[in-house]
Chain A
Amino acid sequence: MTDKPQKLRIANRDFNSRLIMGTGKFASGEIMAAALEASGAEMVTVALRRADLSGQRDKFANILTFVDAKKYLLLPNTSGARNAEEACRLARLGREATGSTWLKLEIHPDPRYLLPDPIETLKAAEILVKEGFTVLPYINADPVLAKRLEDAGCATVMPLGSPIGSARGIETRANIEIIIEQATVPVVVDAGLGAPSHAAEALEMGADAVLVNTAIAVAADPVRMAAAFQAAVEAGRAAYEVGLAPKRKEADATSPLTGFLNES
């Protein structure tokens, strides 16, 4: 028996694509827009610190003009915030400037590994949910924290596979498996996915979606790489719905312990 194909549903909104795209590190706004198109993504995250939040249509901070608001759900993020207070301030300013109430909550005080601060993230999530934001928090793969954020009313949880931009794939597998097993909101594996196979692996494990940026942005051909990730995400999801064959150590299983029962 296999599961029926289902759409990704986050906060009462359906998505056909299970690939969420980031917008950093691209060589130009045009290349970024072409990669978004090729990825089939319907949700796109943008760092608020790179956008113009003054309402003056600053041509020197025009990243949002390359994200077609009719095609994509804009998911502003709070990258750069080091604590709950900064994240909340930035989120409110971003909502005013972009009109989007969706928010990728990112609080990483350490600019070196960009690992998220669990305490500040929970604090900010509790505040922002109450203020009407649809909060998608970026977290370390911590199952208890994931449950706490769910309780706080977050729309998803977004555990990292490995540090942002590291391309190391899913190094937090054991904990992500627990998060998926226990989650009542969609689980989005975010960060560290360096190859389409990593994205496929996340979907095969039962993750509801993945977020990818660096691996596409710095590829020799970001447009083709975006399409490759889309294909991998679809393959991984289909495999999950069908159900993978269990792994075996030996090609031909014998029964050394109970084989005698078959002897005449």
Chain B
Amino acid sequence: MSFSSEFDSLALAELSTFSQNATAADVETALARSQTNGKRLSLANFAALISPAAAEPPYLEALARQSHELTEKYFGRVMRFFAPLYVSNECINICKYCGFSRDNPILRVTLSLEQVATEARYLHEQGFRHILLVAGEHPHFVSDNYLRDCVARLRGDWPSISLEVGPLETEQYVPIVQAGAEGLVVYQETYDRGVYDAMHVSGPKKDMDWRLDTLERGYAAGFKRLGIGALLGLAPWRNEAIALAAHAAHLLRKCWKAQLTISAPRLRPAAGEFEPLVNMNDRELVQFICALRLAFPEVGLVLSTRESPKLRDNLIPLGITLMSAGSHTEPGGYTGQGKGELHVTKGGRMVKPSAPMIESEGEHATVQFEIADNRSPAEVAARLEQMGYETVWKDWESALNEA
């Protein structure tokens, strides 16, 4: 059974209410159960750990301590690094919160294979060996064949290639996996049906169920790493957290050979000037990450450069196992590739940009969102070393991918 087919029968509303009203005793039960070695937390336990009651001082610190201990036990004193490489910011979806939204008058480009290789070479020189190819959803510019060719082009230098692109069919994923990709990341954005419908005005992304089942289609095609996440700032975060945990639990059972990673990205400023509908403060983010660790001790938790250096440093011991650093969220952002082909689109089709517009943008494609941690990968690695962590740049081998 796919996640979309069980989604509406999950007791998500009840669990949200339970979380909102959880008592100190509920929190203590969940914490005690987690401390008992080998016990799995139920979704209700998880709901208690993200409750307002668990945000109070004695519990939040206890939660953080357990999260730290579990992370060290399962992952050791190491941090894995990866780098996002935006290959295109073309998009046919209209999504209210996204800088790449179809009708935003931004400068767009899809990098050629040569340009992708140049950008990737820069990241390789920085030390990265795990790369995440990111693109907007555009079947013409960012076709499945284009993605397959990008992967094939990078394969020799990159032991681990993951994709964060518009959802595809299983049969479309197969050639991409065979070309050498091993990871697939798809954020649901929001698990709230009403909010999902309001945020996704038009385009294929409007079909929520299609997106809910994407990871399962990717797994069927042979992807070995699956990444999920909710974009925090659209619906009340506790509700999103519970649905995300249910999704994780589903994938762990069904896609049992895949390594699962979870992200908790908070909405950032972007073109379109969208304001978050709900806010999630730092304390709540810490609580969420620690609760995820207690519920899923062996799942990878991802932290991007959306967050500030100070918060990132403080989150490192609290459950994070995968980090990006020095990221750019626009195609060509690392080495200026694609500058000659910048354009705007109307209804998703290419039109020539007006000259003043290009000048005002400084001849760069437009970013998806602003990043908050501008430190270089080497600086972040040095900080990790100070904190007693080894940076692991390479943790995969091409021989483990499809032949």
Q: What is the interface of chain A, defined by CB distance below 8 A to chain B?
A: 24-29, 48-53, 58, 60-61, 80-82, 85-86, 89-90, 93, 109-113, 165-168, 214, 217-218
CA distance A9 to B73 in the complex (A): 32
Q: Which DSSP category, helix, strand, loop or mixed, fits chain B's interface?
A: loop
A86/B394 contact (C-beta < 8 A), A49-B159, A111-B259 known: no
B76 within 8 A of A: yes
B282 within 8 A of A: no
What A residues does B403 contact at CB under 8 A? 85, 89
CA distance A71 to B396 in the complex (A): 27
- B232-276 CB mask vs A (1 if < 8 Å, else 0) is 000000000000000000001000111110000000000000000
CB distance from A205 to the nearest CB of B (A): 22
Interface band, chain B: 20 to 34
A218/B399 contact (C-beta < 8 A), A26-B390, A61-B129, A61-B393 known: no
Question: Judging by beta carbons under 8 Å apart, are A166 and B77 in contact?
Answer: no
Question: Judging by beta carbons under 8 Å apart, are A90 and B298 in contact?
Answer: no
CB distance from A189 to the nearest CB of B (A): 19
Question: Judging by beta carbons under 8 Å apart, are B257 and A166 in contact?
Answer: no
B14 within 8 A of A: no
Question: Judging by beta carbons under 8 Å apart, are A53 and B397 in contact?
Answer: yes
CB distance from A46 to the nearest CB of B (A): 12
B117 within 8 A of A: no
What A residues does B74 contact at CB under 8 A? 165
Q: Which DSSP category, helix, strand, loop or mixed, fits chain A's interface?
A: loop
CB distance from A154 to the nearest CB of B (A): 22
CB distance from B177 to the nearest CB of A (A): 13
Picked from B75, B257, B394, B399, the residue with its CB within 8 Å of the CB of A52 is B394
Question: Judging by beta carbons under 8 Å apart, are A218 and B259 in contact?
Answer: no
What B residues does A82 contact at CB under 8 A? 224, 257, 400
CB distance from A107 to the nearest CB of B (A): 11
A90/B77 contact (C-beta < 8 A), A29-B390, A61-B394, A111-B258 known: no
What are 11 contact pairs spanning A and B, CB under 8 A?
A: A24-B76, A25-B76, A25-B78, A27-B76, A27-B77, A49-B396, A49-B400, A60-B129, A82-B257, A89-B400, A111-B260
The 7 closest A-B pairs by CB, nearest first: A25-B76, A27-B77, A61-B394, A60-B393, A60-B127, A49-B397, A89-B399
Question: Judging by beta carbons under 8 Å apart, are B37 and A168 in contact?
Answer: yes
What B residues does A90 contact at CB under 8 A? 397, 399-400
B385 within 8 A of A: yes
CA distance A29 to B258 in the complex (A): 29
Question: Judging by beta carbons under 8 Å apart, are A50 and B395 in contact?
Answer: yes
CA distance A58 to B256 in the complex (A): 33
